[in-house]
Structure 1
Amino acid sequence: MLFRHLPDEIFQALSGSNRALIEAVLNDLADIFYDHAEDPIKDKSTIIESIEDTLHKLDTLAWHDDQKESFDSPKTIHDYALRIYHRLVNTGWLVEEQELYRVSVLMTPQISMLLRSLVEISRHGKRNYGATVLSILSNLESVAKHPKERGVTLRQSAEASRDFSAHLNQILLGIRSLQRELFASRDPKAIVAGFFDLFVEGILIADYKTIKTSNNPFRFRRQILELTQEFLNNPETMGQVAQCYVDQQLITMAEAQAMVEKDCRDIIQTFSNIEQRLERIDEYRYRLEKRAADTARYMDSSRPGMANKVAGVIADVAKFDKLPTLKNVIGARFVGMASAAQPTKRREPPPPRVMTPSEVSADAIRLRDQQRRFHEARQVTIPKMQNYLDKQIAAGDSKHILDFTIESVEDFVCFDHLRYVGSLGVSAKKIEESFEVQFTDQYVDVHNFVECREFTVVRRSKA
């Protein structure tokens, strides 16, 4: 049975007249018992103090005696805390353990899991799935690289995918129920307040606005599907991951293989139909936003839905061959541009465009390589100049400007920058330590190519 691990009186505390106080206390006790840095076994005084702190935060206190008890009606905060504490102990939420004079309080694992689930339901709100999709992709890449050691992380990816799929279903069902509730309401304030409180704050995904941008959380869907499909098509990888399942969960190989295949297919199913499910969510979202915008526009001037009613009147009038005389509304002027205003129409996404890779011609590739090599040859680097000087001077001690040879673009660039070696920065200190450029006041023509001041490059002595 589902409740065979829970006490029979577990929900009595939440079904009586004092359930509001009990809910507030249990909500705060969950944070105390879930503290990962503290001992899960608490002192009785700590629990009572926590209950008192919770009661201090409440606006009003009122205790209803649902059944005859031996306690007197509470009058102080401490009396309220004791009454709630004993109610939680009697109904099984808390368990007391006495060791000599010390009374400790704890929660059984089943009660702790129940309270955690109830708190998650009450705090259910926005979620951010950018990190979830990234973690799934990271786990799958880890499995692809190390299937023997990290194959068990495939299970975590499948669980995250199933949780993600379930949350999308909750969003869809939540929007449908909210739509029926708001459409049935005739109170404009309730419609607008329900839209912002229930939909914007409670149902919508935190990163919903990024879904249709280039930085959306599902941009890694293709990689996830390719990796998962590769696992299914590769028997060797499937066997290694299944062996990891066997070692971690102590099951048979047949059970592990079936589990691996199911996990892969769950991931593929989740990310294959994500677009259709998001489109349905977007359709319901658009209807809700349109109703809320329409209500807010006519809240001060007319009733909600006036635009639809006016459109219905015009459609009914169009059925007559001769327009009838509306005697009761002459001079009222309620039909006009302002009263029949509609919210902005939904913008349809552009149709998909097939991307075809364009082939680059061989001539363009050859020209691009030539340009790249030419730009590389024009770059001045210290190793190039060092090699040029070593090749020109070789074993000699000096060399005149007219004795230098220029055989390529690299040689010309190095020769042209010999005159400015002193201004090339700290990296050129190595060249200045090995060679010295001595200038004269005369200008010479070098190989009928460049005219510059005469200079001689002299190798410095090590001494």
Structure 2
Amino acid sequence: MLFTHLPDEIFQALSGSNKALIEAVLFDLSDVFYDHAEDPIKEKSAIIEAIEDSLHKLDTLAWHDDLKDGFDSPKTIHEYALRIYHRLVNTGWLIEEQELYRVSVLMSPQVSMLLRSLVEISRHGKRNYGATVLSILSNLESVANHPQERGVTLSQTAEAARDFSAHLNQILLGIRSLQRDLFSKREPKEIVAGFFDLFVEGILIADYKTIKTSNNPFRFRRQILELTQGFLAEPNLMGNIAQCYADQQLISVDQALAAVEKDCRDIIQTFTTIDQRLDRIDEYRYRLEKRAADTARYMDSSRPGLANKVAGIIADVAQFDNLPTLKNMVSVKAVGVESCAQPAKRRDPPPPRVITQAEVSQAAIAFRDRQRRFHEARQVSVAKLQSYLDRQLSDKSAMHILDFTIESVEDFVCFDHLRYVGSLGVNAKRIEKSFDVIFTDQYINVREFVECREFNVVRRSKSHA
């Protein structure tokens, strides 16, 4: 049964006349017991001090004796804290353990889970969808790259997708119930206050505005669907993930295969139907915002300067012995069309645009290749210089500048940089060890390409090097 592992009196503390005090204390005690950096077993004095701190935050304190227990009503904060502490112990929220003279306080795992769930319900507000979707995509990519080691991560990913889908349903149902409650009210202040307190602060998605932008958190939906569908389409990958399931969860391979398939289909179902649910949420959101905007507009229907205009009209009318008859009241600015509130029209989203891939012409591709080859030919490297010199000198020990041949752009670039071998950096030292460039004071014209100082390239002997 649902409440088999909980004390029978667990909810008595939250149903009596002092439930407001108990609720405030439990809310703060949840932080005390959930502190991951400390021991979950607390000293009794520390718990009573925590209760006193919670009571100090409250504006007023009032204790109602539902049961005549023979004790006087508490007068001080410490007495209030002791009364609440014993109330929590008697109803099963807290458990006392005594070792000699030391009294420790703890929560049973079931009660701790119950309190955590109640706190999460009270804090159910805004969620950030961008982080959720990115974590799902990251886990799926990890499973695809390492199915045997991290395949079990798919189970956590599917659970995150189910939780994500359930939160969307909660938002949809929450907006519907809020819409029903607000539409039943007739007091404008209650409508506007309820809209901001319950919807804007409680239900609205934290990054809702980004859903309609190019940087929306669902732009990775196609990649998520492709990865998940790829798991189902590849038997080998499916088998590796199932084997990881079987090893980590200690189940048979057949059960693991069924679990993997179910997790994949849950993820696909969540991200396939997300558009329909977001559209419904957007429709209810628009109705709520329109009702709140219309209410706020009618609450402040007077325009700036309208009182002075009305006073002027009354002063002008007072000059007549007989009041004039207004044949057309719409033309009067005091109550004319300009003073009527007009609800904002809903803007329809732009129609979807089919994205087609632009085709590049073959001429543009050929021109781009020629440019790339030309830039590559102009680049100077030590390997090109070494190859050029070896090819030109071949078996010769020395070679004059006019004996070099220039047959391509690469040859010209290499020939032009022979004069600057000494300034090409550390990588060119190996060329200086193999060849020596000896210059003269005479300038000559080489192949009508370049005019430079005459030089000879001499191959160094191994003993000289």
Normalising by structure 1, we get a TM-score of: 0.85
> In the TM superposition, what is the alpha-carbon distance from 1:61 to its structure 2 partner?
1.9
Q: Where in structure 1 are there 5+ consecutive unaligned residues? A: 304-324
Matched residues in 2 for 1:148 and 1:420: separation? 57
Once the 2 structures are TM-superposed, how far is the Cα of residue 362 of structure 1 from its aligned partner? 4.3
| Deviation for aligned residue 1:90 | 0.6
1:373 corresponds to 2:373: yes
After superposition, give the CA deviation of every residue in 1:240-269 in whole Å (9 maximum; x if it has no partner): 444443444344555444333322221111
Letter of the 1:410 partner, please give it.
E
Compare 432-441 and 126-135 and name the one that shifted more: 432-441
1:406-421 mapped onto 2 (5 Å cutoff): 406-421=406-421
The corresponding residue for 2:284 is 284
Pairwise CA distance, 1:108: 1.0
What pairs with 1:15-54 in structure 2 (closer than 5 Å)? 15-54=15-54
Distance 2:148 2:2 in 1: 37
- 2:337 aligns with 336
Alpha-carbon separation, structure 2, partners of 1:174 and 1:428:
73
Do the aligned partners of residues 381 and 330 (structure 1) sit closer, same or farther apart at CA in structure 2, a change above 3 Å counting? closer
CA–CA distance in 1 between the matches of 2:191 and 2:422?
A: 78
- Aligned-partner Cα distance in 2 for 1:350–1:401: 71
In structure 2, what is the Cα distance between the partners aligned to 1:259 and 1:422?
Answer: 69
Per-residue Cα deviation, 1:18-56 (whole angstroms, up to 9, x for no partner): 112111111111111112222221111111111112122
Distance 1:446 1:13 in 2: 103
Matches within 5 A, 1:45-444: 45-302=45-302, 331=332, 333-343=334-344, 345-393=345-393, 398-421=398-421, 424=424, 428=428, 431=431, 437=437, 439-444=439-444
Contact 2:329–2:335 (CA under 8 A) maintained in structure 1: no
Task: Give the CA deviation at 1:96.
Answer: 0.8
Q: After TM superposition, give the deviation of residue 14 of structure 1 in Å.
A: 0.9
Q: Report the Cα offset of residue 406 of structure 1.
A: 1.0
SS in 1 for 2:104: strand
Quick one: distance in 2 between partners of 1:395 and 1:82? 104
Where does the alignment leave 5 or more consecutive residues of structure 2 unmatched? 304-325
Question: 1:116: Cα distance to partner?
Answer: 0.5
Q: Which amino acid aligns with 1:77?
A: I
After alignment, is 403-412 or 53-62 more displaced?
53-62
Q: Tell me if the contact between 2:441 and 2:454 (Cα under 8 Å) persists in the aligned partners.
A: yes
Inter-partner Cα distance in structure 2 for 1:388 and 1:224: 53
Between 1:10-19 and 1:204-213, the stretch displaced more is: 204-213
Deviates further, 128-137 or 140-149? 140-149
- TM-score, normalised with respect to structure 2: 0.84
The 1:188/1:379 distance shift into structure 2, 3 A limit, reads farther
In structure 1, what residue type is equivalent to 2:81? A
State whether residues 137 and 220 of structure 2, in contact with CA within 8 Å, keep that contact through their aligned partners in structure 1: yes
The residue matched to 1:201 in structure 2 has which SS? helix
CA–CA distance in structure 2, aligned partners of residues 449 and 147 of structure 1: 62
Q: How many residues align?
A: 441
2:317 matched residue in structure 1:
none
- The separation in 2 between residues aligned to 1:342 and 1:194, in whole angstroms, is 20
Give the Å deviation of 1:141: 3.0
Shifted more, 251-260 versus 28-37: the winner is 251-260
Report Cα offsets for 1:418-459 as digits up to 9, x if no partner.
344555556556556665655555432211222334344456
Distance 1:390 1:57, change over 3 A: farther
Q: Do the aligned partners of residues 440 and 65 (structure 1) sit closer, same or farther apart at CA in structure 2, a change above 3 Å counting?
A: same
Q: How far did residue 213 of structure 1 move?
A: 2.7
User: C-alpha displacement at 1:111, in angstroms?
Assistant: 0.5
Distance 1:415 1:96 in 2: 92
Distance of aligned partners of 1:385 and 1:277 in 2 relative to their CA distance in 1, 3 Å threshold: same
Offset of 1:8 from its aligned partner? 1.6
Partner Cα separation in structure 1 for residue 5 and residue 447 of structure 2: 100
- Specify whether residues 198 and 377 from structure 1 end up closer, same or farther in structure 2 by C-alpha distance, changes over 3 A only: same
Q: CA deviation at 1:331?
A: 4.3
d(CA) in 1 for partners of 2:282 and 2:331? 42
Give the Cα separation in 2 of the matches to 1:195 and 1:436. 86
Q: For the structure 1 residues 143 and 403, does the alpha-carbon distance in structure 2 shift closer, same or farther, using more than 3 Å as the test?
A: same
Separation (CA, whole Å) in 2 of partners of 1:188 and 1:426: 81
Query: Which region of structure 1 is more displaced relative to structure 2, 198-207 or 332-341?
Result: 332-341
Report SS of the residue matched to 1:15.
coil
Counterparts of 1:365 and 1:202, CA distance in 2? 56
